[in-house]
Amino acid sequence: MTADVSNDAIRREPHRWNQGFSWVDHTGPFTTLTTEQVAVFDELGYFVLPNAFDQPTLARIDAEIRPGEERIRELLAQFPGGRISVAGLDTQTVAPHLVLSSTWLREFCGHPLLAGICRDLVGPDVRLYWEQAVYKQPHGAEPVLWHQDNGYTYVDPQAYLTCWIALTDATTENGCISVIPGVHRGGTLRHRDTPIGFECWSDRAQAVQVPVTAGSVVVFSSLTPHATAANGTDEVRKAYIVQYCHDGATATQPGPDGAVGSQVAQNDPARQDLVVAGGRPVRSEPPPL
């Protein structure tokens, strides 16, 4: 089953709530990243941290994800065609909020390496915003469309951080990340809703594919348009996606006719732990394997 999604060109324009956004380049000093890595992030909206995690760590992440991913499969099976928006048994399973059932993953999200990246790119006080596993199914029926993470839920400040951790090799054949460089500097774009998720971009001419090996991390802004092609291989392509926001960030709930509604603080004690406080990682060591 293939969704009927229009191929009409999408006019690039700001989200209606994005008024007066200005990207601020990072000036350091930096504790974890190099000046060159941060400069690339400011210019392009992403960079790759290769071989950040070893195979035993990836295996433990996968094991901790497994129960939640199985629950999502059971849920999807109850819906027509096995799909809910961007998730589907024949596309990709999306298992969010795994820290609610895994103490180990909760501790991993505060890993000193990840927290150090957050300190350099977000600020001195940073919270876990969201985390989810995305497992692209073999011979998938649909891609993930071009979107910004801040297009799904409008967070303020708009520029939060996504760490896309490859649990298996991510290749052009199995649905690695593709990005549109430089667009992040304009803030959140208008998105349209489709049967397979939100979409904000239709011009592929500027797209850059970002294949990475297992254990590498694609670090990108919540404002960087990105997409993934369908998995055309015989194996599942696995990723664990961890996102971090400024302490004090809020998520906007839409009001009538799309107006700004309520502001919800992103400090849920059940899942949105502080990972950086006063410029220092909260955890000094990774969780034991």
Residue 273 has pLDDT above 60, yes or no: yes
* pLDDT score for 10: 77
Predicted TM-score (pTM) of the model is 0.95
pLDDT digits (tens, 9 = 90+) for 32-64: 999 999 999 999 999 999 999 999 999 999 999
Share of the chain above pLDDT 90, in %: 90
CB within 8 A of 18, min separation 6: which ones?
158, 187, 188, 189
pLDDT digits (tens, 9 = 90+) for 150-183: 999 999 999 999 999 999 999 999 999 999 999 9
pLDDT digits (tens, 9 = 90+) for 260-272: 889 999 999 999 9
Distance between CA atoms of residues 35 and 41, nearest Å: 10
* pLDDT score for 3: 41
Fold of 44-277: Jelly Rolls (2.60.120)
29 prior amide bond cis, ω within 30: yes
Any idea where the domains of the chain sit in the sequence? 44-277
The one-letter amino acid code at 33 reads L
